[in-house]
Structure 1
Amino acid sequence: MTAAAVLSLGALAACGSNSDDGGSGGKGKTIALLLPETKTTRYEAFDKPLFEKKMKELCSDCKLNYLNADQDASKQQQQAESAITNGASVLVLDPVDGKAAAGVAKSAKSSKVPVLAYDRFVEGADYYLSFDNETVGMKQGEALVKATGDKGEILMLNGAPTDPNAAQFKKGAHGVLDKSNLKIAAEYDNPDWTPENAQKFTSSQLNKIDPADVAGVYAANDGQAGGVYAALRAAGVKKMPPITGQDAELAAIQRIVSGQQYMTIYKPIKIQADKAAETAVAIVNGDDVTGTTDFQGVKSFIFDPVVVTKDNVKDTVVADGFYKADQICTADYADACKDAGVS
């Protein structure tokens, strides 16, 4: 796996206020971490704690101002302004709305506060750290073509139109699917990525399409894959068609080992979070940031995504310590784990 990229986040308490360990600390050693939402489990479970751990390891006197926007772009803009006012010396920003966040970058620049665009691109940012998002979509599309035998009708569920990554996932997937023999029976851009919306959309399509005729489902992330699975199960489907995903959520890995989901995209969050923390700390300390590449005129670190199927769960998410085997192989999944060679 080649590496070159970046950051993470997590979810904040319900109101999205400052974390206990650095909210409105003094200027000069405060790093503001602004995450977009709490519906995706990776942010609270992995990104934020990994980022914070690495930051403290590298800079014991650095303070973290952690803010979550709960999928509200206006709220995130207010949080960013507050963080700057309260003395943040760098913003690590995973935007709710990539285009709207350009205003945050402009405001930060006027206050001489560097911005690290985390996971999602922000025009005007000083640095950008992410995985190769178009490749994510390509790998998802390729997996679906392989799993379906390149024939039949599929449903396609993309991410939020306001999320710049979602457009890249979609572009990569269409680059593969449009050249295949698969027919996209219906396509949906989920406005907030929620499993609930994915389930509703899928259920509505199953009122028009015989569930037995669904050869596969492109779901841009694992949350949506879960909603798709719930809709198919409610429609009486026992043998699931191939369903894609992304983020390697625990529930998705369990679905994969049990044959309820075909694949997910694993993005080694520790590599990303560590690099984001290293970059932020270097900026705080006035050190040079080296090893970047160029992405749309912004200094960037870009990582490679990894496809996870039933065949390589043990060699990827388990081998990396992302999950322990016993976290995956609970009582309901013990036999499936044994068959998959995970336990």
Structure 2
Amino acid sequence: MPRKPHRPTVATIARDLGISPATVSYALNDKPGVSAATRERVLEHAREVGWTPHSGAQALRRGRSGNIGLVLVRDPEELSREPFYSAVTAGIESATSAHSYELLIRFVRGGADDEIEVFRTWAHQRRVDGVVLLDIAEDDHRPAVLESVSLDFAVLGHYEGPEDYVQVTTAEPDDAATVVEHIVDTGYDGCLQLTGPVQFAHERRRLDLLRRLCAEHGIPHQHIPGAYTADSGYRALLEADHDLSSRPAVVASSDLIALGALRAAAAEGLEVPRDLGLVSWDDSLIAEVAAPGITALNRRPFDMGRTAGDLLVQKIEGRVPGGSSCGNTPATLVHRASTARR
């Protein structure tokens, strides 16, 4: 049985060419001490045999691990159904891989304390060079911990603190105005806001924004918190005050919550969009293929993740200073059949 060929290395290239490994290393790394002819000879042979740099050795030379960390405080099975987080994660991975970094993902279920324990372990073992933080909470203490263990980090969302970090902010004031103006323009006279966990700062901001905007337009507002699942959206709509107004609109914080609300409306005999409007803060294939299709904000989560990953790598490599920030552009409202004039 023929032997499987070994991966070409500096040593095998040196043996093939009859020169020292040091000479090969100098040539491959463009260091002085090698003639132009020898350098070209080494590079040509390396191309022929398919030699590529060893990522671990490269990271060791840089004094870094070559890894970016992402901790998701979620049930992995539940997250597999959540398009927003999947798109954000794909965006982060796209950026990190473009810079030759690996994305290291860890799932935890115990909340912020378990997440912090992962950060401490990664820092102690030098497993990652930085992390991306999602779902910033009110009085979030994760940034201070990351600073204390000397890990660079990027925040996806809004955060103001003394730590040395970079961030990608969202356009929630503009997005909230777009949503409320749409439901008012299409003839809905009340707002049932179904959110995720209200300990998250972005949910608090959305709640405050919609309450204020609804008051300015003179329409009643009701809030029901829950989780980012279809079951939560279903239960929330059943709990809602359907007599809030003659024709209310549901504003759901995610496409899964919106899908659950749509199912609950059908169970209650409410016709969407005639009796009840429905808008999701997140657009996805779920919103597109639902029946009726769900009007949604296209916030480009893949681009948000990619920007966060790119900014973090630049921070790690000293190409941007701490405090650097990129703003996500206001979302585009994708108008579908779940909202319409009567």
Give TM-score, length-normalised by structure 1.
0.69
Deviations 1:39-80 (A, max 9, x none): 632222x2222221221122x2x2322123447222222222
What letter matches 2:133 in structure 1? Answer: L
Please tell me whether the aligned partners of residues 248 and 266 of structure 1 are also in contact (alpha carbons under 8 angstroms): yes
The equivalent of 1:177 in structure 2 is 214
The equivalent of 2:251 in structure 1 is 218
Aligned pairs for 1:25-64 (under 5 A) are: 28=64, 29-37=66-74, 38=79, 40-44=82-86, 46-58=87-99, 60=100, 62-64=101-103
What letter matches 2:157 in structure 1? Answer: D
Please tell me whether the aligned partners of residues 30 and 63 of structure 1 are also in contact (alpha carbons under 8 angstroms): yes
Query: What is the CA distance between 1:90 and its match in structure 2?
Result: 1.3
Distance 2:315 2:207 in 1: 33
Aligned pairs for 1:184-263 (under 5 A) are: 184=221, 186-190=222-226, 192-205=227-240, 209=242, 213-240=246-273, 241-255=276-290, 259-261=292-294, 263=295
Deviations 1:221-249 (A, max 9, x none): 22211111111011122343221112212
Query: What is the CA distance between 1:107 and its match in structure 2?
Result: 2.0
Distance 1:238 1:30 in 2: 50
Secondary structure of 2:96's counterpart equals: helix
What letter matches 2:149 in structure 1? Answer: S
Aligned pairs for 1:1-343 (under 5 A) are: 28=64, 29-37=66-74, 38=79, 40-44=82-86, 46-58=87-99, 60=100, 62-70=101-109, 72-87=111-126, 88-95=128-135, 97-100=137-140, 102=141, 104-119=142-157, 121=159, 123-125=161-163, 126-147=165-186, 149=187, 151=189, 153-184=190-221, 186-190=222-226, 192-205=227-240, 209=242, 213-240=246-273, 241-255=276-290, 259-261=292-294, 263-289=295-321, 298-310=323-335
Distance 2:183 2:110 in 1: 29
Please tell me whether the aligned partners of residues 88 and 306 of structure 2 are also in contact (alpha carbons under 8 angstroms): no
What letter matches 1:42 in structure 2? Answer: F
Pair 1:122–1:90, CA change in 2 (3 A) = farther
Pair 1:288–1:219, CA change in 2 (3 A) = closer
Secondary structure of 1:34's counterpart equals: strand
Distance 1:90 1:288 in 2: 14
> Where does structure 1 lack aligned partners over 5 or more consecutive residues?
1-20, 293-297, 312-335, 337-343
Please tell me whether the aligned partners of residues 188 and 247 of structure 2 are also in contact (alpha carbons under 8 angstroms): no
% same residue: 14
Deviations 1:166-189 (A, max 9, x none): 1111222223211113223x3212
Give TM-score, length-normalised by structure 2.
0.69
Aligned pair count? Answer: 269
The equivalent of 2:47 in structure 1 is none
Query: What is the CA distance between 1:161 and its match in structure 2?
Result: 1.2
Please tell me whether the aligned partners of residues 298 and 333 of structure 2 are also in contact (alpha carbons under 8 angstroms): yes
Query: What is the CA distance between 1:91 and its match in structure 2?
Result: 1.7
The equivalent of 2:35 in structure 1 is none
Pair 1:160–1:71, CA change in 2 (3 A) = farther
> Where does structure 2 lack aligned partners over 5 or more consecutive residues?
1-54, 338-342
Query: What is the CA distance between 1:213 and its match in structure 2?
Result: 4.0
Distance 1:193 1:71 in 2: 17
Please tell me whether the aligned partners of residues 264 and 309 of structure 1 are also in contact (alpha carbons under 8 angstroms): yes
Bigger radius of gyration: 2
RMSD between aligned residues: 2.9
What letter matches 1:209 in structure 2? Answer: H
Secondary structure of 2:235's counterpart equals: helix
Pair 1:36–1:95, CA change in 2 (3 A) = farther
Please tell me whether the aligned partners of residues 118 and 128 of structure 1 are also in contact (alpha carbons under 8 angstroms): yes
Pair 1:41–1:69, CA change in 2 (3 A) = farther
Secondary structure of 1:66's counterpart equals: strand
Please tell me whether the aligned partners of residues 219 and 225 of structure 1 are also in contact (alpha carbons under 8 angstroms): yes
Secondary structure of 2:121's counterpart equals: helix
